[in-house]
Each structure stands twice: as structure tokens, then as C-alpha cells.
Amino acid sequence: MNAAEPTSTDSMPNRRGLIISLDFELMWGLCDLTNSGDYLPAVLGVRQAVPAMLAMFAKYDIHATWATVGLLLHDNRKDLMASLPDIRPSYNESRLSPYLRLDEIGTCESSDPFHYGLSLADAIMQVDGQEIGSHTFCHYYCLEPGQTTQQFHADAMAAQETITRVSGPASSLVFPRNQFNKEYLAATAASGIRVIRGNERHWSYAASDASGNSALKRGLRLLDSYVDVTGNNAAATRNSSALVDIPSSRFLRPFNSRLGKLESIRCSRITSAMESAFVENNGFHLWWHPHNFGTHLQSNMAILESILKAYAVLRDRFDAPSYTMTEYADMIGVESGANSSDIAA
């Protein structure tokens, strides 16, 4: 078979498609970092990045899942405080808990654009093909020592209640920091979630707590952004009786001026992997954070458009529509039920 030609689908359903998910978290996903202050310009820039991305998605008919931290789905302190779960994570490292910083946030979205994002979520819901998924309520770390399944379940239910008020019940979830935890899948399903984003299969992408995210892993993942180290990471779904796992294929890294001359190589790595996934009759799952576009917005948008232009050609050639996570899971649902296997970390 010519590698550039699609696999025959005479005897199999078409599983091709582009799945996009965005980890939407504002400062709630960064406040535990020692250099969190360095991210303030990027988080503030989300106010311009979200409308720009939505316009680009509309232009290219792109569907996307916005996996959203429940805490940001408010526009005032009173409503935020009323939505907090009674049971909260008891991390060994207390700095990981955003609940210890509630006294530092402002009173409303206009006075504190770093923590409140209800108006942005409302804008997302005005664009066809967009879904609000869960990124947990408090940007919950499922592999960090000290927290428990009971605490995660309380968080998942709080996230679901908050998201429901904004867009209806969430059916998809992305684990913060990609801390996929197989032990938490039952609690995830119990909260009403049907679809999750797992990790790439290569060991460098394996889920771990912060201590396990070694310099070697980070370096290899960076290299993999430019050179094919781990393959196309096609979104070949993994399933259980309750959940569909649509694993990540590629993280769309933010523009880096020091590596500017390599941007065409980075784009080619993504589009080549996408084409390879479609040849194999698989999906391709691209993800990033809105705050990754919060600085260097023009450069980041140019990179995104370059990728979407290439995708538009591949979409027509391979019949590979754009999907939210939930839409893709629903599309393959019949086949998944017939060939289910246990989700593996």
C-alpha cells in the first residue's frame, strides 16, 4: 500500500477525524507553580486568545472540547464560594490546593480576570460545534500523594453541578496535568462523564505525579515536537464498559521566539502525524491551553491556521470530519461496544 493513500474502509467504519481539546483553567491551573507570577500576562491574554480561536474555529468549521476548571465558571465571589464542595483534596504538599488561595481572589470578573471566566464560557457556547467539558472543579491532581478517591468524587460532582448551570451536563473530562488515574475511572463515570482524554502510549508521556515528570521525559517530549520520536500517536480509542478514552496525539506547544526558525518543522511534525493517523483509519487528537496563546497571539494564531489549512485538505481527501471529544466517542460508539477492552494507564 502507498503510505500516502488511505486504508480501504470497505470492511470497517470510518474512524478518521480531528479531535481538539483545550485545557481551560486560567490561574487555577498555575497557582501552585513557584513561578506562577510569570504566567500572569499569558492568563490575561486569554481574553483576546479565546475570541481569536473561536473565530478561527468558525472559519474552518472546527469542533472543539473546552475542558474547563469549574472554579472559573463564575463571575463573582459569592457564587464561587457557594459552589465549593465540602470535601476537598488533602495533598501532602498543601501548596497544590487552590482552596488555600481563595482569600487572594477578587470580588468579580471585571476586577479579577485571572480567576473568573464565566463571560468567556458564555462566548464559547455561542459558537457552533463547541462543548464545555470538565477539567475537574479545582484543577484536581489525581496522582499527587495525600488525596483520595472520595475527595476526587466530591470534586467531580461539584464540577458537574457548575458546568451544568452554564452549558448542561458535561460528558467529557480531561485530567489536569494529564494525571490519568485508572483507580478514579469509576468515580469519573459516576459523575456522568462518558469520555476522557488519556495519554500517548510512549513511556515519555506516561502519567505521573510532579516528581515523576523527569527532565529526561520533558526533553524527549520537546524533541518529539520537532522530530518523529514516538510515531503519529493516533487517537486509537481505548474503552471500558463505562468510558471511552480518546488519547492525546499531540500537544500544540506555544510559539517560542528562541525557536522561531523551527516553527515550520514543528507544524510539519503535527500535520504529517495527522495524515499518518488518517491513513491508518484513526483519529488525531490535538490539544493545548488557551493561555498558551495568551502571549505572541499573532504568531500562535498563524501556526494554528497553518495546521488547520493543512487539515482542511486532509479532511476532504480522507473524509475526516472535525469532532468534539463527545462527538467522536458517539461516532465510534457502535464499534467501541463490540470491541471494548480495559482502559490502561
Angle at 85 between CA 84 and CA 89, to 5 degrees: 110
For residue 78, how many other CB atoms are within 10 A of its CB?
A: 10
What pLDDT was estimated at residue 240?
Answer: 59
CA distances 169 to 28, 136, 150, 293, Å, are 21, 13, 21, 27
Relative to beta strand 244-245, strand 238-239 is antiparallel
- pLDDT bin (cut points 50, 70, 90) of residue 300 is very high
For residues 165 and 37, what is the distance between their CA atoms, to the nearest angstrom?
31
CA angle 85/136/200 to nearest 5° reads: 155
Distance CA 115, CA 106 (A): 8
Q: Are 195 and 171 in contact (CB under 8 A)?
A: yes
Cα-based angle 189, 125, 181 (whole degrees, multiple of 5): 25
Segment 132-187, tens digit of pLDDT? 999 999 999 999 999 999 999 999 999 999 999 999 999 999 999 999 999 999 99
Structure-model confidence comparison of residues 262 and 341, the more confident one? 262
Is residue 281 within 8 Å of 236, Cβ to Cβ? no
With pLDDT > 90 as the criterion, what percentage of the chain qualifies?
A: 77
Measure the CA angle with vertex 151, ends 235 and 118; round to 5°. 65
3-state SS assignment for residue 279:
helix
Largest CA distance in the chain: 62
Stated as kind and residue range, the H or E segment containing 302 is helix 297-318
Q: Which three cell numbers stand for residue 229?
A: 520520536
Q: What pLDDT is recorded for position 337? A: 39
Phi then psi for residue 239, to 5 deg, are: -135, 155
The structural domains of the chain, ordered by start, are 17-338 (3.20.20.370)
- pLDDT-based confidence at residue 5 (cuts at 50, 70, 90): low
Q: How far apart are CA 39 and CA 27, in angstroms?
A: 8
Instruction: Write down the mean pLDDT value for the chain.
Output: 91
